[in-house]
């Protein structure tokens, strides 16, 4: 088990927001990889825990061949750009923007006079040249919600290409072997993961146990582990990144 605490990292940021970067994978960042940050898992390459300043914004900027996942933790942002311009993102909601080969530009704006909080994750696509796309999800109060990844409809691979014959899999999320779930547990509830995971505690507290270690995690802790049991010690929200078999 490896643990990285948000509070151990320097506060950075750009434009109208401040952030702690916990995952800066060397496949994307190379020599610019931030010291002491984790590499990702599967095609997952970036995690930042950000706060927008009052009326802060990212300013319009482009992405290409990357999937950008935003999880709104508190407050809201107004979304501008080439995908779903005018969509709002409120606490408890998620937006996923697929750049593909087409690419997209966006600006996320805090419309309020108070700070907000948003998690941003990046995943590399498995198939180059995909069309750009947008998905939006409300998160239920409890349970496990898949927001990214899973087998594509068509049953051939995870890159979004349909195979011949009867459809299999799903279209709810962008298809990928890399999966992202938002896990919301009440105090005393537990969940198990057999394979390697990267789990970010975004709210609350939980005990993480693997074959050799036990760790009491809190809001802002990132844990890499294998064969993991998670026991909520308060109402907890955890973003879990893994790989589909």
Q: 156-213: per-residue pLDDT in tens?
A: 444 433 333 333 467 799 999 999 999 999 999 999 999 999 999 999 999 999 999 9
Mean pLDDT of 19-38: 95
pLDDT digits (tens, 9 = 90+) for 112-151: 999 999 999 999 999 999 999 999 999 999 999 999 998 8
pLDDT-based confidence at residue 86 (cuts at 50, 70, 90): confident
Among the listed residues 217, 214, 211, 185, the one whose alpha carbon sits nearest the alpha carbon of residue 199: 217
Q: Sign of the C-alpha dihedral, residues 237, 160, 122, 105?
A: negative
What pLDDT does residue 155 have? 54
CA distances (Å), origin 150, targets 10, 156, 220, 242, 245: 34, 12, 26, 11, 9
Q: Sign of the C-alpha dihedral, residues 79, 81, 83, 85?
A: positive
What pLDDT does residue 169 have? 66
Domain count, the chain: 1
Cβ-contact 204, 232 below 8 angstroms = yes
Show the domain range for 47. Answer: 2-243
The average confidence (pLDDT) of the chain is 92
Q: Is 67 exposed, middle or buried (0-12, 13-18, 19+ CB in 10 A)?
A: buried
Question: Could you tell me which residues come within 8 angstroms of residue 217 by beta carbon, excluding any fewer than 6 positions away?
Answer: 3, 201, 205, 206, 207, 208, 223
What pLDDT does residue 162 have? 33
CA distances (Å), origin 162, targets 100, 144, 151, 157: 16, 27, 11, 8
pLDDT-based confidence at residue 154 (cuts at 50, 70, 90): low
- What CATH number should be reported for the domain holding residue 158? 2.60.120.10
């Amino acid at each position: 088990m490896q643990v990285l605490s948000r509070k151990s990292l320097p506060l950075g940021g750009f434009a109208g927001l401040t952030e702690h970067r916990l995952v800066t994978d060397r496949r994307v960042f190379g020599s610019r990889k931030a010291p002491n940050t984790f590499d990702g898992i599967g095609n997952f390459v970036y995690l930042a825990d950000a706060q927008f300043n009052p009326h802060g914004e990212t300013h319009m900027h482009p992405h290409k061949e990357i999937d950008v996942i935003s999880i709104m933790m508190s407050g809201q942002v107004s979304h501008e750009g080439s995908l779903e311009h005018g969509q709002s993102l409120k606490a408890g909601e998620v937006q996923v923007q697929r750049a593909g080969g087409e690419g997209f530009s966006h600006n996320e704006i805090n419309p309020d006079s108070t700070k907000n909080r948003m998690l941003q994750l990046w995943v590399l696509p498995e198939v180059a040249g995909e069309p750009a796309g947008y998905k939006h999800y409300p998160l239920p109060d409890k349970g496990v919600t898949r927001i990214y990844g899973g087998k594509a409809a068509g049953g051939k691979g995870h890159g979004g290409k349909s195979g011949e014959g009867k459809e299999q899999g799903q279209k709810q999320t962008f298809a990928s072997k890399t999966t992202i779930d938002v896990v919301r547990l009440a105090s005393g509830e537990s969940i198990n993961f057999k394979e390697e995971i990267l789990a970010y505690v975004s709210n609350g507290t939980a005990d993480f146990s693997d074959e050799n270690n036990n760790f009491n995690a809190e809001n802002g802790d990132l844990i890499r582990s294998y064969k993991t049991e998670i026991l909520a010690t308060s109402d907890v929200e955890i973003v879990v990144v893994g790989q589909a078999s």
